[in-house]
């Protein structure tokens, strides 16, 4: 066939001379009468595919090679499509949100032979795609009554009137759902398909944007929650650290009392020595003074143990500060992605003030602990001197050197 040959369009059923409906020209596209709900439309599409047993395989039309068949099926369309020319041929179009069906056929007597292009959405935003099924169509037109079969499946019936026809499709509940197809050109089908694809892309973009927005908000919410948790943990650990400092006062008081007992006994030993008491008795009492000195040393160990607790608390608070700083940085990064979103997250000022307060508490706790250690070391040294004085009074064995308690940092 000469590609330049003028191909007459194929009109709708009833446009061929000799048919009962006469040869009216192809009317302009009429809007689809939506006599059915969208959920039923989706049942329709499923029914069409099920009835046809469609597998998505392109089928060859049952044309005889005459110009009408080539026009209806786009016969020379491969050549015209490659030159950017609009698609050729006429048919019937059903266009709904989420689906487009375009039927073209040729006529031989009362017999209809052609194809149906079924375009439906699959998936959900943001991952929707347009799925294509090309089905064979066969049927008959008797007056205004039309019978169609898709891929040789179960026949469906309808009526043809005024350039459109309505077909009843069986539903899953056994009822029949009417769907109207209006006369249209192949170019109008392409336009409807482009709109379906464009709407799909728009829906996907909107859904993707919504998902991104939700993800950014969720990231801020998580970061905000983490900062709040770290703030609470830091404040709690600072409070616990400060509370533990009270133990120093009690331990130092006990050490001071034991030191007073030792000092009194030292004076007794010195008096005994001056009064000529038996030296064995004097040295025995001097040993008791040394033992009291050991008790003072033990009290110093308790103070040092309390200092170890404080040092552990300080380490915990320092770790809390690091964790809070990391959480605050993560929150700032999350907020930078969506500056307009405010979920009541703690401010950086609150974070800074809490950290500054915690650092001051650390310095104070370390100072309190080291002061207590210094005082305990002083008591221990005094206890050693008292024991040494008692030993010297009776020329007895020297007491053990006191242990110097270490400071913390």
CB distance 372 to 303 below 8 Å: yes
Confidence of residue 199 (pLDDT cuts 50, 70, 90): confident
DSSP letter assigned to residue 61: -
What is the dihedral angle through the alpha carbons of 302, 308, 312, 317, rounded to the nearest 10 degrees?
90
Using pLDDT thresholds of 50, 70 and 90, give the confidence band for residue 73.
very low
Note whether 116 and 181 are within 8 A (CB).
Answer: no
The pLDDT value recorded for residue 96 is 81
| Interval 325-329 mean pLDDT | 97
Structure letter (DSSP) for residue 7: P
User: Average pLDDT of 120-138?
Assistant: 88
Peptide linkage before 318 cis (omega within 30 of 0): no
Per-residue model confidence (pLDDT) at position 167: 87
Residue 74 has a pLDDT of: 34
Q: How confident is the model at residue 81 (pLDDT cuts 50, 70, 90)?
A: very low
| Predicted local confidence at residue 40, as pLDDT | 41
| pLDDT category of residue 82 using cuts at 50, 70 and 90 | very low
Say if residue 63's pLDDT is above 80: no
Report residue 286's pLDDT band, with 50, 70 and 90 as the boundaries. very high
Tokens 């891929």 label which residue? Answer: 151
Helix axes 348-393, 186-244, angle to 10 degrees: 20
> Could you please report the per-residue DSSP string of 181-243?
EEEEEHHHHHHHHHHHHHHHHHHHHHHHHHHHHHHHHHHHHHHHHHHHHHHHHHHHHHHHHHH
Average pLDDT score over residue span 288-317: 96
What does the block give as tokens for 320?
């809390």
- In this model, does residue 22 exceed pLDDT 60? no
Mean pLDDT over 207-211 rounds to 82
Q: What is the mean pLDDT of the chain?
A: 81
* DSSP codes joined into one string, 304-355: HHHHHHHHHHHHHHHHHHHHHHHHHHHHHHHHHH-TT----PPPHHHHHHHH
- Percentage above 70 pLDDT, the chain: 78
Q: What pLDDT does 205 receive? A: 77
Cα 72 off chain centre by: 51
Cβ proximity of 35 and 41 under 8 Å: no
Is pLDDT of 350 > 90? yes
Confidence band, pLDDT 50/70/90 cuts, at residue 83: very low
Average pLDDT over residues 205-231: 91
Residue 85 pLDDT exceeds 60: no
Return the HEC string of 127-171. CCEEEEEEEEEEEEEECCEEEEEECCCCCEEEEEECCEEEEEEEC
Tell me the average pLDDT across 207-235.
Answer: 93
Q: pLDDT tens-digit profile of 146-185?
A: 999 999 988 888 888 888 998 888 788 888 888 889 999 9
pLDDT-based confidence at 293, cuts 50/70/90?
A: very high
Whether 66 shows a pLDDT value over 50: the answer reads no
- pTM (two decimals): 0.58
Please give the span between the terminal C-alpha atoms of the chain, in angstroms, as a whole number: 98
Q: What is the distance between the alpha carbons of residues 400 and 388, in angstroms, rounded to a whole number?
A: 9
- Whether 366 has a pLDDT exceeding 70, the answer reads yes
Q: What pLDDT shows up at residue 210?
A: 85
Task: Report the pLDDT value the prediction gives residue 38, as an integer from 0 to 100.
Answer: 38
Q: Which of 52-56, 103-107, 255-259, 371-375 has the lowest mean pLDDT?
A: 52-56
- Candidate from 8-12, 129-133, 298-302 with smallest mean pLDDT: 8-12
205 torsion bin: left (phi>0), alpha (psi -120 to 50), beta (else): alpha
209 half-sphere exposure, CB direction, 13 A CA radius = 6
Per-residue pLDDT band at 56 (split at 50, 70, 90): very low
Residue 356 to residue 139: CA distance in whole angstroms: 85
R_g of the chain computed on alpha carbons: 49
- Cα–Cα distance for residue pair 224/228, rounded to 1 Å: 6
> Among 145-149, 233-237, 314-318, which is the least confidently predicted range?
145-149
pLDDT band at 284 (very low <50, low <70, confident <90, very high): very high
State the chain's maximal CA–CA distance in angstroms: 156
């Amino acid at each position: 066939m000469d590609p330049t040959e003028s191909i007459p369009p194929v009109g709708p059923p009833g446009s061929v001379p000799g048919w009962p409906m006469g040869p009216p020209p192809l009317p302009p596209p009429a809007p689809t009468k939506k006599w059915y709900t969208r959920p039923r439309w989706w049942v329709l599409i499923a029914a069409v595919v099920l009835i046809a047993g469609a597998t998505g395989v392109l089928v060859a039309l049952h044309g005889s090679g005459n110009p009408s068949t080539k026009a209806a099926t786009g016969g020379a369309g491969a050549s015209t499509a490659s030159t950017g020319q609009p698609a050729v041929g006429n048919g019937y179009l059903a266009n709904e949100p989420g689906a487009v069906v375009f039927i073209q056929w040729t006529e031989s007597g009362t017999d209809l032979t052609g194809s149906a292009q079924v375009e439906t959405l699959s998936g959900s935003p943001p991952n929707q795609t347009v799925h294509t099924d090309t089905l064979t169509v066969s049927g008959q037109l008797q007056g205004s009554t039309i019978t169609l079969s898709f891929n040789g499946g179960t026949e469906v019936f309808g009526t043809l009137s005024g350039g459109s026809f309505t077909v009843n499709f069986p539903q899953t509940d056994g009822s029949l759902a009417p769907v109207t197809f209006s006369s249209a050109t192949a170019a109008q089908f392409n336009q409807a398909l482009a709109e379906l694809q464009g709407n799909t892309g728009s829906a996907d973009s909107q859904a993707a944007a919504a998902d991104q927005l939700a993800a950014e908000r969720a990231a801020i919410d998580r970061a905000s929650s983490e900062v709040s948790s770290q703030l609470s943990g830091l404040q709690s650990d600072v409070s616990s650290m400060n509370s533990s400092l009270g133990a120093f006062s009690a331990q130092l008081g006990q050490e001071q009392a034991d030191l007073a007992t030792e000092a009194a006994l030292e004076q007794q030993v010195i008096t005994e020595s001056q009064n000529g008491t038996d030296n064995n008795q004097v040295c025995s009492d001097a040993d008791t003074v040394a033992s009291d000195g050991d008790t003072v040393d033990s009290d110093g160990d308790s103070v040092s143990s309390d200092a170890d607790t404080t040092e552990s608390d300080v380490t915990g608070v320092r770790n809390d500060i690091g964790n809070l700083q990391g959480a605050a940085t993560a929150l700032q990064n999350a907020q930078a992605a969506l500056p307009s979103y405010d979920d009541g997250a703690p401010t950086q000022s609150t974070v800074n003030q809490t950290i500054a307060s915690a650092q001051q508490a650390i310095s104070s706790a370390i100072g309190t602990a080291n002061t207590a250690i210094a005082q305990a070391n002083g008591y221990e040294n005094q206890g050693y001197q008292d024991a040494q004085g008692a030993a010297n009074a009776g020329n007895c064995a020297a007491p053990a050197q006191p242990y110097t308690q270490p400071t913390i940092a």
